[in-house]
Amino acid sequence: MQYRFADRLSHAPKSFLGELFRVSADPGIISFAGGLPSSALIDTVGIKKATCQVVEEDPATALQYTTTDGYLPLREYIANRYRSRLGIPATAEEIQIVNGSQQCLDLFAKIFLNKGDHVGIERPGYLGAIEAFSLYEPVIDTVPLEDGGPNLPAFEHLIREKEVKFFYGIPNSQNPSGRTYSQDKRREIAGILEESDAVFYEDDAFGELFFDRMPRRPVKWYLPDQAVISGSFSKIIAPGMRIGWIFAPAGILTRFNIVKQAADLHSNFFCQKILHRYLTTNNLDDHIRNIVTVYERKCRLMCDLLEDLLPEVSHTTPEGGMFLMATLPHGLLSRTVFDEGIKQGVAILPGLPFYVDGGGTDTIRMNFSTSSEEQIKEGMVRLARVITDLQKT
Amino acid sequence: MQYRFADRLSHAPKSFLGELFRVSADPGIISFAGGLPSSALIDTVGIKKATCQVVEEDPATALQYTTTDGYLPLREYIANRYRSRLGIPATAEEIQIVNGSQQCLDLFAKIFLNKGDHVGIERPGYLGAIEAFSLYEPVIDTVPLEDGGPNLPAFEHLIREKEVKFFYGIPNSQNPSGRTYSQDKRREIAGILEESDAVFYEDDAFGELFFDRMPRRPVKWYLPDQAVISGSFSKIIAPGMRIGWIFAPAGILTRFNIVKQAADLHSNFFCQKILHRYLTTNNLDDHIRNIVTVYERKCRLMCDLLEDLLPEVSHTTPEGGMFLMATLPHGLLSRTVFDEGIKQGVAILPGLPFYVDGGGTDTIRMNFSTSSEEQIKEGMVRLARVITDLQKT
C-alpha cells in the first residue's frame, strides 16, 4: 500500500549512521567512524552502587510518572555546577531534563522554526543537528568554522542579512572538526548577536572534556537572555541512560516545556534518580580527570601517527573532546577511503554529510575516544596503507 | 527580550496537566483527576532483582549507546506476545522502541502530517494525542465515540469525504471515556478504511487490562498493512522507565525510524535491558492478573458509589483500563465542580480539553487506578457533597 507521508521527510538527509552502526558491530573492523565514549571509562561500579541504592530506598516513586521538567535535585545539581564551574548564576528553574542532547535539537527547532525560516550553523556542522533541524524544513545557512571559531565577517553577514531564528554551534571541541572557539571570538560573536534578535544555541556536549581542564566561558555568559546551552551526561557518565538538559531563559523554557510534554511527557525518571545519586556520592571531577587523561593520550597518539604515517594528510589539533578532522591529499575522496577502509578493516567517517551545501568531500572525521591505544596504532597502520595505495592508483 | 517562536506554538492547547500535577502533589486532596497506575502494584521486588542482574552482568553495554530501533530481545518479546496473545504474525522487525506511547503520538504525526492536513480522532479524544498532533498544525476532525465504538455513519463520512491521513483511536478502554469498541465495530471500521488510504492508529495502552482478561482483536488484525498499534509498559510494569513501542508495517517503520533517530537517537537502553530481564524472569500474566483484579474492584466501587450518592450523574461502564467518564446533572459545569472540588479536597478532570471543538462542558473524567479503596470511598463522599451543594445554588 502507498502511504501519504508528510513533505518534511523529503528534507531528511539520507543518514549515514545506520551504516555506521552496522560497521561498528563487525569485530574485525577498527572503527574511528563512530562517536562513542570509551566503554572502559564508564564507572560501572559507581553506577551499580547508585542504582542499588535507588531501588532499595524508594523504588515505587522512581518507577512512577513524574513532572515534565525533570527531577528537581538533579536540576539543582546541574545549575549548581554552572555556578561553581563557570560563574554563571544558573537556577534549577532554568534547567529542563531531556533525553540526551539530541532531543534538545529536535525540541528547540520545534519551538523556533517555521517552514522556510533561516537557521545558522557551522560549516562543517554537526550531523545530528542537521538531521533534526531538516525535519522542520528550514533554510540552513552556514558559516565556515576555522581554527579559533566561525569566520567573523561571514557570521556578521549571516546575522545582519538573513533573519536567522537562531545560530547553532559547538564552541567546545566541535563535532566533527574538533575545533574550539577562542575566548575573543565568543565575545565578538556575542557583540554581533546583541544587535539582532537571533538566539545563540550552544551545544556543550564536550565542555567538560578539555585536556587542560580549564573551563571556557560560553557565549551565554555575555548574553544571558539571548543564549541557551545544552548539556549531556552521555560523554561524562553514560550515554545509555539518555539524560541531558537544556539551560535556557524562562521565556524560552516555558515553550520548551510544552513541546517536551507533547513529545514524551518526561524523561526516564528512574535513571534521573540514579544519576543524581551517582553524582552526589562520587567525585565527578576525579572521574572526569580520568577520562580526559586517557582521551588526551589517545588524541596525541592519533595525531602523531597521522603525522608520521601520512604526512600529506593535514588535521585539526583538538584541545579536548572526542574527534579530529583530517583533510586528504589532493584528489582523494573520503568516500573512496571509507569503502577501501572497510575492506582493509578500518572505518573512518567521510566529511560530506557535515556539509549541507556539498563540499568537504576530501575531509574525514576521526574519533579517538572509542578505540584502545592498541587499536588506534593498528587502525592507523591500516588507514595509512589504504590512503597510500589509493594515491598510487 | 522578544523571541520569534514558530507558529505551531499558537496551536498548542493550553495544557491542564501542569495544574493537575500540582493538585495531585497536595496530600490533602484525593485525586481522581490524574492517570497514574497504582504505585502499590508496581512489582518493585521483581524490578529490583532484574536491575541488579543487569548491572552485575554486562553494565558497560547497557550504559553505552545502542541502535535506534531498540534492544532486539525486547522487540522479540513484544512481537512474540502479539503472536501468542492475539494470533497476529508480528516480527521484531515490525517493532520500534519509543519513550512510552506519548512519543509514538509525536513521531507518528511527524511522519504523516503537513500543516493543514486532516486527521481523525474520537470525540471525546485523548488529550495527549490532541497536544502532540496540534503542534503539526493539522485540521482535527472528530467522530462521536458511543458505547460500543465510534458512530459508524460519522466515521464513514469522515473517511469518504475528508482526506484524513490517519484516524487515531483507543479501541480498548479509551482514555477519557472508558469505552471499548465492539468486535463488530472493529470489523466494520476496517471495511470502511480498506476502501481508502487512511491509516488506522490504535493506541493500545490498556489492552492488557480488561477485567475479563479476554484479549480483543485489534483493527490491525483485519488491515495488517494499513494499521499500526502503539503499546506501553507504563500501565503494566512501570511508567517511570518511559518504554513503549510501535508495531507497524515496514513501509511506515522505516520512516518512523528516521524521525526517532532525529528525535533522540534511541530510548534508554539501560531500562530496555532491565525490562527484558524482568519480563523473561517473571510471569507477566500473573502480574497483570493482580493488577486487573484490583482495578476491577476499584472500578466497581466507584461506579456503585456514583449510583448510590449521585443518582443524577450518568456514567460509562468500563470493561477495563483506568478511567470512566461521568456526565453531570443538567446545568452543572465540570469546571465549577473542579474548582469547588479542590476546595473540598477532591479532584476530578473536566472533560472540556478532550473536545477539540468545544463541548463536553458537563463531563468529567474519573480515574480509579491511583487511589486506594479507602480514598475512593472518602473522595466520592466529598464529590457527592460538592455536586449536591452546587445543585442547590
Residue of B nearest to A267 (CA): B242
pLDDT at A34 over 70: yes
Whether B113 and B80 map to the same domain: the answer is yes
Q: Which residues of B touch A37 (CB under 8 A)?
A: 64
CB pairs under 8 A between A and B: 243
Domain that holds residue A377: 11-43+285-392
Which B residues in the span 28-47 are in contact with A, Cβ-Cβ below 8 Å? 35-37, 39-40, 42, 44, 47
Per the document, the length of chain A is: 393
C-alpha distances out from residue B353 to A79, A153, B253, B350, B365, Å: 35, 50, 31, 7, 11
Hey, are the CB atoms on A265 and B100 less than 8 Å from each other? yes
Q: How far apart are CA B65 and CA A246, in angstroms?
A: 20
- Residue A168 main-chain phi, psi, to 5 deg: -105, 125
Which B residues in the span 183-242 are in contact with A, Cβ-Cβ below 8 Å? 197, 199, 225-226, 234, 238-242
Domain assignment present for A24: yes
Kindly tell me the sign of the dihedral angle through the C-alpha atoms of A135, A141, A145, A148: negative
For residue range A287-346, what is the model confidence (pLDDT) as tens digits? 999 999 999 999 999 999 999 999 999 999 999 999 999 999 988 999 999 999 999 999
Domain assignment present for A128: yes
Closest CA to B111 of A255, A301, A16, A11: A11
Distance (Å) from the C-alpha of residue A113 to the closest C-alpha of chain B? 5
Whether B194 and B336 map to the same domain: the answer is no
Hey, are the CB atoms on A197 and B263 less than 8 Å from each other? no
Whether B101 and B245 map to the same domain: the answer is yes
Q: Which residues of B touch A55 (CB under 8 A)?
A: 44, 47-48, 51-52
Q: Which of B59, B63, B102 sits opposite A264 (nearest CB)?
A: B102
pLDDT computed for residue B14 by the predictor: 66
Whether A215 and A85 have beta carbons less than 8 Å apart is answered as yes
**SS3 state at A387:** helix
C-alpha Rg value of chain B to the nearest Å: 21
Whether A224 and A312 map to the same domain: the answer is no
Domain assignment present for A82: yes
Q: Could you tell me if A48 lies within 8 Å of chain B, comparing CB atoms?
A: yes
pTM: 0.96
Which A residues in the span 129-168 are in contact with B, Cβ-Cβ below 8 Å? 131-132, 134-136, 165
Q: How far apart are CA A302 and CA A323, in angstroms?
A: 10
Q: Which residues of A touch B70 (CB under 8 A)?
A: none
Whether A290 and A271 map to the same domain: the answer is no
Whether A81 and A194 map to the same domain: the answer is yes
Q: Could you tell me if B317 lies within 8 Å of chain A, comparing CB atoms?
A: no
Q: Which residues of B touch A266 (CB under 8 A)?
A: 242
Q: Name A144's bridge partners.
A: A123
Q: What are the DSSP E strand ranges found in chain A?
A: 30-31, 95-98, 118-123, 139-146, 149-150, 166-169, 199-203, 227-232, 244-247, 314-315, 323-327, 346-347, 349-350, 363-367
Domain assignment present for A4: no
Hey, are the CB atoms on B63 and A117 less than 8 Å from each other? no
Which A residues in the span 231-250 are in contact with B, Cβ-Cβ below 8 Å? 234, 238-242, 249
Domain assignment present for B364: yes
Return per-residue pLDDT of chain B as tens, 393 residues.
Answer: 899 999 999 977 766 666 666 776 788 999 999 889 999 999 999 999 999 999 999 999 999 999 999 999 999 999 999 999 999 999 999 999 999 999 999 999 999 999 999 999 999 999 999 999 999 999 999 999 999 999 999 999 999 999 999 999 999 999 999 999 999 999 999 999 999 999 999 999 999 999 999 999 999 999 999 999 999 999 999 999 999 999 999 999 999 999 999 999 999 999 999 999 999 999 999 999 999 999 999 999 999 999 999 999 999 999 999 999 999 998 899 999 999 999 999 999 999 999 998 899 999 999 999 999 999 999 999 999 999 999 987
Q: Which residues of A touch B47 (CB under 8 A)?
A: 55, 59, 63
Whether B233 and B172 map to the same domain: the answer is yes
Instruction: Retrieve residue B109's grid coordinates.
Output: 504525526
- Split at pLDDT 50, 70, 90, the class of A275 is very high
Residue ending a domain, among B281, B307, B324, is: B281
Whether B224 and B349 map to the same domain: the answer is no
Which B residues in the span 74-103 are in contact with A, Cβ-Cβ below 8 Å? 98-100, 102-103
Whether A122 and A186 map to the same domain: the answer is yes
Whether A257 and A324 map to the same domain: the answer is no
Q: What is the CATH number of the domain that holds B128?
A: 3.40.640.10
pLDDT computed for residue A331 by the predictor: 83
Whether B30 and B123 map to the same domain: the answer is no
Residue ending a domain, among B227, B252, B281, is: B281
For residue range A138-192, what is the model confidence (pLDDT) as tens digits? 999 999 999 999 999 999 999 999 999 999 999 999 999 999 999 999 999 999 9
**SS3 state at A201:** strand
Whether B351 and B34 have beta carbons less than 8 Å apart is answered as no
Residue ending a domain, among A251, A281, A311, is: A281
Domain assignment present for B52: no
Domain assignment present for A70: yes
Whether B223 and B332 map to the same domain: the answer is no
Hey, are the CB atoms on A258 and B103 less than 8 Å from each other? no
* Structural domains in chain B (count): 2
Q: What is the CATH number of the domain that holds A31?
A: 3.90.1150.10
pLDDT computed for residue A20 by the predictor: 67
Domain assignment present for A1: no
pLDDT at A12 over 90: no
Q: Name B308's bridge partners.
A: none
